Amino acid sequence: MSEAVKGSSVDIDLPLVRRARDGDYAAFEALVSRYEGKVYALAWRIAREEHDAEEVVQETFLSVVEHLSTFREDASFRTWLLRIATNAALKLLRKKRGLPMVSLEGSGTQEDDEPLPHPEFVAPWQESPADLAGRHEIRALLDEAMTALDEKHRVVFLLRDVEELSTEETAEVLGISVANVKIRLMRARLMLRERLTRVLGDKDRQAPPHRHDEVE
């Protein structure tokens, strides 16, 4: 039995995966039900359009049907599924933009050397995530901030921080270097933080502009 680097998804999914691989449709359907919402959410956040998200969900699970017999247990089912879903979503986006179907970005490509986005609006938030969660206007804010991100930053944030894949798993899913995953994640977090804090931060406790060009 393989050990997943992260999480308990191997333990949860493996029995169903094995039964599905042996032809048990009910087991397969249970797997689909377990992950369809998550795949839809990921697809929607990448593709930003309901119709496209639907297409990605269909394609993802149809691909699972096709390739389940080839699934080796060297990665968790969840990681494998997220790779299929992410690639399907990115492929769709590229197709819509008339770009080559396969990203030309190799793992050797160096990320740009621009300085990281410096925090401008710095203030503690007025409410906790637990209090904010679920509110309609907060969901709109989260969506708007995510939409403003470049796709390459958005995807890394979704895989690393929302889906909790490791840096290495994320690099593998996206076909980029570990170093690029780290840089993109930093940029994504800092840009999201900036947007969210401008709305959620307590303006009465805003920290004055602050740079560390020289620190004692």
Partner 1 sequence: MDMKCDELLKALNEYVDGTLEPGVCEMFQAHLKDCNPCRIVVDNVRKTIQLYKGDTPCELPPELKSRLHSSLKARWKQRPV
> Which chain residues interact with partner 1 by CB under 8 A?
23, 25, 28-29, 32, 36-38, 40-41, 44, 50, 54, 57-58, 61-62, 65-66, 68-69, 115-116, 118-119, 122-125, 128-130, 132-134, 138-139, 142, 146, 157, 161-162, 164, 182, 185-186, 189-190, 192-193, 196-197, 201, 207, 210-216
Closest approach of partner 1 to the CB of residue 109, in Å: 20
Nearer to partner 1, 2 or 120 (CB): 120
Nearer to partner 1, 83 or 160 (CB): 160
Cβ atoms 81, 35 nearer than 8 A:
yes
Closest approach of partner 1 to the CB of residue 192, in Å: 5
| Angstrom distance (rounded) from CA 157 to CA 192 | 10
| Angstrom distance (rounded) from CA 68 to CA 13 | 13
Nearer to partner 1, 90 or 196 (CB): 196
Burial category of 84 from C-beta neighbours within 10 Å (exposed 0-12, middle 13-18, buried 19 and up): buried
- Residue type at position 117: P
